[in-house]
């Protein structure tokens, strides 16, 4: 083992780059201290020695979910096990894979990524690995038949649309045992002096999200909810209500049992399930300045935002293939610029690859100008939020809706717009077709596939459902109406 000491992280990265160019090492791993380079699974089992069955059950749930997702179904192939675990590794699931990077600068970031020095004494470290030498070493080790079961393998995969992996130039070392007891990596050590200027945290953990990462966020949000429910069921004397026990007799409200609307068929919605493959480096990075003008003769800021986005997309359709950073200046003083910027980014990346029109996207961003000026939109005070959203849409009703993967969210919509979006055949099938409010309709049923004209509902999603979710700072924002299987009152 060779230890090289330098003065700071910049010198460490420079030395690692030099050694990489000389062909001595090709993989690097940064740590805040010279802890053993363990896998997350090894660390997890050290702390939870009896919890392996729960972890296996969690893994099985993810595997079953993957098989049902068009964008991820290929990961169920046994030949794609490394790709499957690459996804899990980047979502904090304990695995036998250890993170490395091909870029010394990224290792330098991870070796320094803390706001202040650790209380634990010691040095920051960049581990340096020559994977060819590692493979040769274990080839020799396996000559001893008693050691053949000890597996340590370099793994390089590219999971389409997993920008977290791509941005970190990620690669993995698979190890099924405490491999560092046999193989000692060379290292560069240095005292902590802060985080280097490049790469930034936003580059390592992209603020832009791909379609795949939106999908994974939904899954892991639902997984946390499931785990919380499991925990609550262990609390003695807590009353549990199974909503599946409750059912409604449709004969009381409908002339005939409602049937799925043709617009909701898989063939009709095929375009809504398409997810193009986008690579982080070629998709992220464009910045579009949008200076809004003020003064008495200038139109409202929301109108300027709407027209600017619409004109840009009509003029340059290829923009929708990029994670553009729309940078607005000149916003009204009451608009929370940080919240607005984050909401616009999320709206753009959540909508641009779905078959929303340019007008839909422009309308969503325009709505955020008003919504991001309403401080009561988020928080735990429902009454204040109701009043805030009523100042945006006077007949706003609060709704909760869910996707078939189990994720759910809440939003505000116009009562009148939702009434207009009800399918004519569904309404005609009511025993009492006189509906004064969407509230009445949603008391009868909450399956949107049986109730709503899809095109009209997508129109409402763009202008009301998506913007209000973002304004509320929902932990999960659902952008795709085609995946909904429930739509009801909150």
> What pLDDT digit, counting tens, does each position of 299-348 carry?
999 999 999 999 999 999 999 999 999 999 999 999 999 999 999 999 99
Lay out the sheet containing 186-190: strands in order across.
3-5, 186-190, 124-129, 27-31, 97-101, 170-175, 152-155
Confidence band for 192, pLDDT divided at 50, 70 and 90: very high
**3 cis-preceded (ω within 30 degrees of 0):** no
Average pLDDT over residues 83-110: 96
Assess contact for 328 and 340: CB atoms under 8 A. yes
CA-based max dimension of the chain: 84
**Alpha carbon distance 91, 85 (integer Å):** 10
Region for 473 from its dihedrals, namely left if φ exceeds 0, alpha if ψ lies in -120 to 50, beta otherwise: left
What one-character DSSP code corresponds to residue 293?
P
Please state, as a whole number, how many other Cβ atoms lie within 10 Å of the Cβ of residue 488.
15
CA-to-CA separations, 247 to 243, 364, 448, in angstroms, rounded:
8, 36, 17
User: Is residue 378 over pLDDT 90?
Assistant: no
Q: State how far Cα 202 lies from the chain centre.
A: 14
- Mean pLDDT of the 214-239 span: 72
| Residue 94, pLDDT above cutoff 70 | yes
Separation CA 24–CA 20 (nearest Å): 6
The mean pLDDT value for 225-231 works out to 67
Q: What pLDDT score does 146 carry?
A: 87
Q: What is the pLDDT of residue 385?
A: 87
DSSP state, residue 446: -
First to last CA, the chain: 61
- The 10s digit of each residue's pLDDT in 118-142 is 888 999 999 999 999 999 999 999 9
User: Could you tell me which residues are beta bridge partners of residue 401?
Assistant: 409, 487
Is the four-CA dihedral 465, 471, 474, 475 of positive or negative sign? positive
- Say which DSSP state 104 is in: H
CA 84 distance to own-chain centroid = 16
Q: How far apart (Å, rounded) are the C-alpha atoms in residues 16 and 480? A: 45
Q: Phi then psi for 107, rounded to 5 degrees?
A: -60, -40
Whether 160 has a pLDDT exceeding 70, the answer reads yes
Contact 365, 347 (CB under 8 A): yes
Evaluate if residue 166 carries a pLDDT over 70.
yes
Q: Where are the beta strands (DSSP E) in 136-239?
A: 152-155, 170-175, 186-190
Structure tokens belonging to residue 390: 């009523």
Q: Are 121 and 189 in contact (CB under 8 A)?
A: no
| Angle formed at CA 162 by CA 344 and CA 94, multiple of 5 degrees | 115
Query: What is the value of pTM for the model shown?
Result: 0.89
Best CA proximity match to 272, nearest among 208, 360, 158? 360
Assess contact for 427 and 420: CB atoms under 8 A.
Answer: no
């Amino acid at each position: 083992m060779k230890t090289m000491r330098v003065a700071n992280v910049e010198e460490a990265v420079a030395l690692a780059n030099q050694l990489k160019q000389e062909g001595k090492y090709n993989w690097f791993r940064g740590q805040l201290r010279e802890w053993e380079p363990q896998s997350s699974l090894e660390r997890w089992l050290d702390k939870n020695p009896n919890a392996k069955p729960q972890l296996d059950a969690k893994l099985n749930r993810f595997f079953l979910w993957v098989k049902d997702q068009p964008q991820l179904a290929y990961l169920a192939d046994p030949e794609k096990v490394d790709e499957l675990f690459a996804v899990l590794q980047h979502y904090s699931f304990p695995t036998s894979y250890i993170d490395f990077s091909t870029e010394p600068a990224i290792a330098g970031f991870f070796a320094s990524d803390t706001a202040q020095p650790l209380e634990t004494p010691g040095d920051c470290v960049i581990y340096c690995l020559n994977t060819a030498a590692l493979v040769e070493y274990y080839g020799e080790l396996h000559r001893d038949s008693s050691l053949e079961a000890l597996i340590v393998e370099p793994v390089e995969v590219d999971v389409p649309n997993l920008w977290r992996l791509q941005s970190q130039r990620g690669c993995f070392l698979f190890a099924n045992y405490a491999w560092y007891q046999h193989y000692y990596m060379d290292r560069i050590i240095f005292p902590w002096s802060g985080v280097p200027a490049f790469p930034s945290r936003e580059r390592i953990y992209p603020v832009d999200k791909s379609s795949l990462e939106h999908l994974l966020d939904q899954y892991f949000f639902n997984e946390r909810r499931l785990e919380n429910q499991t925990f609550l069921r262990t609390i003695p004397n807590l009353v549990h209500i199974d909503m599946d026990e409750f059912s409604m007799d449709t004969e009381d409200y409908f002339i005939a049992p409602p049937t799925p609307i043709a617009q909701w068929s898989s063939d009709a919605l095929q375009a809504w399930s398409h997810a193009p493959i986008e690579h982080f480096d070629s998709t992220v990075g464009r910045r579009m300045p949008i200076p809004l003008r003020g003064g008495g003769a200038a139109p409202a800021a929301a109108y300027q935002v709407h027209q600017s986005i619409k004109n840009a997309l009509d003029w340059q359709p290829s923009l929708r293939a990029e994670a553009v950073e729309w940078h607005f200046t000149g916003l009204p003083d009451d608009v929370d610029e940080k919240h607005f910027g984050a909401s616009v980014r999320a709206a753009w990346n959540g909508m641009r690859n779905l078959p929303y029109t340019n007008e839909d996207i422009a309308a969503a961003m325009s709505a955020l100008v008003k919504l991001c000026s309403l401080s009561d939109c988020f928080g735990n005070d429902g009454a204040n939020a109701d009043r805030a959203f009523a100042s945006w849409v006077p007949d706003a009703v609060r709704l909760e809706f869910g996707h078939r993967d189990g994720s759910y969210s809440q939003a505000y919509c116009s009562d009148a717009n939702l009434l207009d979006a009800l399918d004519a055949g569904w309404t005609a099938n009511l025993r009492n077709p006189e509906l004064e409010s969407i509230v009445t309709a949603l008391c009868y049923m909450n399956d949107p596939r049986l109730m709503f004209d899809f095109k009209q509902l997508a129109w409402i999603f763009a202008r009301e459902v998506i913007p209000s979710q973002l304004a509320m700072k929902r932990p999960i924002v659902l952008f795709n109406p085609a995946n909904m299987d429930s739509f009801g009152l909150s």
